[in-house]
Amino acid sequence: MCGPPFEVPDPGPGGLAAAPVVVLGALLVVVLFPRPGFDEARPQLEAIAREVLTEPDGVRSGVEVGGLDISRVEQLDGAVYFIESDDSFGTTHGWIYSPEGYPDGQQHVGSIEHLGGPWYEFERSS
């Protein structure tokens, strides 16, 4: 046996040109149809936050709102933390509803960005 153990098929004319078209098509789908995000879910999240603030234990698990997959909702120091399920590479991401201003529980998160009104976005590395 002198040849390779397998044969690589010849893509033929234009065969390699299809790859960029597929990549471009996928990129257009992501740009034109983005995953629903926080802005779309904000009214529902706010309703949940107000409910959680009135509950004695103030904790919920496995909440899906407007395309967001929230693993945990918890009350801490008068604020409600929405912890997103996707913790990529040891980073926890989520949102804080804090009607009394800047959240007091900031020692539990790495960075906080004010989004407007009572809303903040946070990120914490594990």
Average pLDDT over residues 68-90: 85
Sorting pLDDT into bands at 50, 70 and 90, what band is 73? very high
Is there a contact between 105 and 76 (Cβ–Cβ < 8 Å)?
Answer: yes
Cα–Cα distances (Å) from 49 to 6, 67, 96, 126, in that order, read: 59, 17, 9, 25
Q: Is the dihedral of CA 112, 46, 115, 84 positive or negative?
A: positive
Q: Has residue 60 got a pLDDT over 70?
A: yes
CA Rg value for the chain: 22
* pLDDT the model gives residue 45: 94
Using pLDDT thresholds of 50, 70 and 90, give the confidence band for residue 1: low
| Residue-wise pLDDT tens digits, 25-58 | 544 444 444 445 888 899 999 999 999 999 988 8
